[in-house]
Amino acid sequence: MNYQELIKNAKEVIGPHCKVCPECNGIACKGRIPGPGGKSTGLGFIRNYSDLKKIWLHMDTIHDKMEICTKKTLFDFEFDLPVFAGPIGAVQMHYSDLYDDMTFSEALLKGCKAAGSIAFTGDGVKDEVYIGTVDATKALGGHGIPTIKPWRKEEVIEKIRLAERANAIAVAMDIDAAGLSILAAQGKPVSPMTVEMLKSIISSTKLPFVIKGIMTVEGARKAVDAGAYAIVVSNHGGRVLDETPSTISVLDDIVEAVKGQIKIIIDGGFRSGIDVFKALAIGADAVIIARPFVTAVFGGGESGVSLYVNKIREELENAMIMTGCESLKDITKSKIKCTL
């Protein structure tokens, strides 16, 4: 199977909401929830994608032959590339019945592990969703990052214990899911949390804790105060609040404020190894990609996921050769032109 075949397969089975567009940019699906769109005007998603296109790469091919290395150590684990699959929950509601959250996560986790990456997995209104995906992580020797919603504290801690028993590499919370009113409508309210609440949750575990959904310097500083290992600069793909800035446009200030105190991951509109290069140049430690991994699962299952990870790695390697970067530490701001 090649990538074109994967796309063709996905189009046939992914369901009515996602059009598997040539560019996954939030335009055809704007406002489509259920579905993969950004909320209301869809601008949060659209800006994520379009702002990344305002950063350009400087070519420099006058250099020695290079042994390109994309390896990255995070959570005390060496990955083949600094790109991970993002959590996607309620797959049947947003896409189609071909996969449920369990079978989807299983394909995602296995495909990512086989290609030297890792997948974050989602949480849902029904406990079986979290339990099932954590079981899939356990079956892979803990190679996954369960992502818990900001439920009440006792429930979060119970779910962390399950992640520990599964030997998960890390555990995450999408704190911005506080904006998912759909969960309250289904009888499971989520809410914002104070630094104190986060501190007591994070100090209850030895697992590296990731807070996903940070969009400001203030938010990043609070995550540092709470003791998190990493943040994900994310607007949840524009799905929790309309009219936010793009994630790439807030990255630089966040890097300036907290680099060295916490690891910085980013997501939102990243679609190629070239996009990944841009965030690394601004100072991110790693990038999460979410929606294109859904296409990969529906179009090719576990091997479709590995194929997609390898495609991104090859694109990143090519960008590195063309800009004269042998390893990730060589990818600096001098390698890009930011016209944002």
Q: Whole-number minimum distance, CB 66 to ligand FMN, in Å?
A: 29
Q: Of 102, 217, 123, nearest to 175 (Cα)?
A: 123
Name which of 59 and 340 has its Cβ closer to ligand FMN.
340
Tokens representing residue 293 in the block:
């991994």
Contact residue for ligand FMN among 183, 290, 320, 331 (CB under 6 A):
290
Angle at 202 between CA 201 and CA 207, to 5 degrees: 125
> Which residue in the set 9, 14, 25, 36 belongs to the binding site for ligand FMN (CB under 6 A)?
36
Q: Please answer whether residues 86 and 120 qualify as being in contact, where contact means their C-beta atoms are separated by less than 8 angstroms.
A: yes
Non-local (6+) Cβ contacts of 330 within 8 A are 320, 324
Interatomic CA distance for residues 294 and 37, integer angstroms:
13
Query: According to CB under 6 A, which one of 81, 88, 136, 140 is a site residue for ligand FMN?
Result: 88
CA distance 139 to 312: 26
Tokens, residue 42: 């869809």
Token duo for residue 238: 């524009």
Q: Please say which residue, 313 or 325, places its beta carbon nearer to ligand FMN.
A: 313
Q: Is 122 an interacting residue with respect to ligand FMN (CB under 6 A)?
A: yes
Residue 246 engages ligand FMN in binding (rule: CB under 6 A): no
Separation CA 230–CA 209 (nearest Å): 7
The set of residues, in sequence order, having a beta carbon less than 8 Å from that of 318 and lying 6+ positions away, is 273
From candidates 87, 144, 219, 301, binder to ligand FMN by CB under 6 A: 87
Q: Does 188 bind ligand FMN (CB under 6 A)?
A: no
- CB 93 to ligand FMN: min, Å: 8
**Helix/strand/coil percent split, the chain, to 5:** 45, 15, 40
Q: Min. distance of Cβ 122 from ligand FMN in angstroms?
A: 3
**What is the footprint of ligand FMN within residues 124-143 (CB under 6 A)?**
none
Q: Is 270 in the site for ligand FMN (CB under 6 A)?
A: yes
Among 15, 44, 86, 208, binds ligand FMN (CB under 6 A): 86
Residues 189-218 that bind ligand FMN (CB under 6 A): 212
Residue showing tokens 């390898």: 310
- Residue 119 as a binder of ligand FMN (CB under 6 A): the answer is no
**Which region, judged by CB under 6 A, interacts with ligand FMN, from 80-88, 111-119, 182-190, 223-231?**
80-88
85 near ligand FMN, judged by CB under 6 A: no
Residues numbered 213-242 forming contacts with ligand FMN, rule: CB under 6 A? 234, 236-237, 239
Alpha-carbon span 94 to 32, nearest angstrom: 9
Region from 6-14, 155-163, 264-272, 309-317 binding ligand FMN, contact rule CB under 6 A: 264-272
Tokens at 30, concatenated: 């704007």
Binding to ligand FMN (CB under 6 A) within 162-181 occurs at 174
β-strands 55-57, 336-338: how paired?
antiparallel
Residue 45 vs 79, nearer CB to ligand FMN? 45
Distance in Å, CB of 181 to ligand FMN, minimum: 14
Alpha helices in the chain (DSSP H): 3-13, 43-52, 91-94, 101-114, 127-139, 153-165, 181-185, 195-202, 217-226, 247-258, 273-282, 291-323
Chain residues in the site for ligand FMN (CB under 6 A):
36, 48, 86-89, 94, 122, 147, 174, 212, 234, 236-237, 239, 267-270, 289-291
